[in-house]
Structure 1
Amino acid sequence: MLAETVATVNSVEIRFDLKVFTLDCVKRAAYRVTGGSSVDIAIEDGFAKCVLHFSKPMSRAQSDHAVEALRLEVLDQDLRGVVAEETASVRNAVLALAFSKSGLQSVD
């Protein structure tokens, strides 16, 4: 029986176009997926270059899964930002009403 070798990787690079996603969005996503890795982020030619450094070598399949998780999280963070912008006026009105009836404001 032949021993099967599995290629491992210590890091992987992913790029995000900053015309599509904000740097803040990429940083938030990177923070959320850093369970077994650290992330270096640099700006190069209009792209956020993220390098995931794994705490221990991973198989190619595991590193592909980590890349997929980061890509999905960036999309999720982007959509959260869009929803926050679209609902800001309603959220602020609800908060203003809640605080106006709380008795926390002094009436002079």
Structure 2
Amino acid sequence: MDKDQNTQPIECIETLNLSTYSLNSIKKACYKFSSEFSVKLEKVDDEQIKVCFEFNPKFDNEVRADLIHQFHNELLDQDLREIVFKETEGVRNLILAHAFSKTTLIEPE
């Protein structure tokens, strides 16, 4: 076997729907795994993005499959965090406003 073949990265490509996951969620999930593999993102159209995973050749198929599985879990986690952040923005702003105001919103007993 040629020595150069062992050093070539192994690529795995997936297409994600941008109506399912936001671009920010995808980028955050990619960043979390930047020590395990590199990622290239390529916009296919307004609704899809192609994710190209480049693995070190030392990783076997089982390890690569596990890392992609972990990536999908992280992608879901980041997407849910974004949803919770948007849904709780009003409460968060109220708490911050109260914390930094000199007046009280609740009458002391």
Q: Name the TM-score class by shorter chain.
A: 0.7 to 0.9
Q: Residues 42 and 49 of structure 1 are in contact (CA less than 8 Å); yes or no, is this contact kept in structure 2?
A: yes
- Report the AA paired with residue 87 of structure 2: E
Question: Which moved further from structure 2: 27-36 or 48-57?
Answer: 48-57
Which residue of structure 2 lines up, in the alignment, with residue 31 of structure 1? 31
What secondary structure does 2:21 align onto?
coil
Alignment of 1:1-108 (within 5 A): 10-45=10-45, 46-101=47-102
Q: Which stretches in structure 2 are left out of the alignment for 5+ residues?
A: 1-8, 103-109
Q: Which stretches in structure 1 are left out of the alignment for 5+ residues?
A: 1-8, 102-108
Q: How much has 1:55 moved relative to structure 2?
A: 3.2
Q: How much has 1:99 moved relative to structure 2?
A: 1.3
Q: Number of residue pairs matched?
A: 93
For the aligned residue pairs, the C-alpha RMSD in angstroms reads 1.5
- Report the AA paired with residue 64 of structure 1: A
Between Structure 1 and Structure 2, which shows a larger proportion of strand residues? Answer: 1
Question: For the residues of structure 2 that align with 1:20 and 1:42, how far apart are their CA atoms?
Answer: 16
Which stretches of structure 1, 4 residues or more, deviate above 4 A after TM superposition? none
TM-score normalised by length of structure 1: 0.78
Identity of aligned residues (%): 31
Question: For the residues of structure 2 that align with 1:81 and 1:68, how far apart are their CA atoms?
Answer: 20
Question: For the residues of structure 2 that align with 1:48 and 1:66, how far apart are their CA atoms?
Answer: 19
Question: For the residues of structure 2 that align with 1:80 and 1:31, how far apart are their CA atoms?
Answer: 15
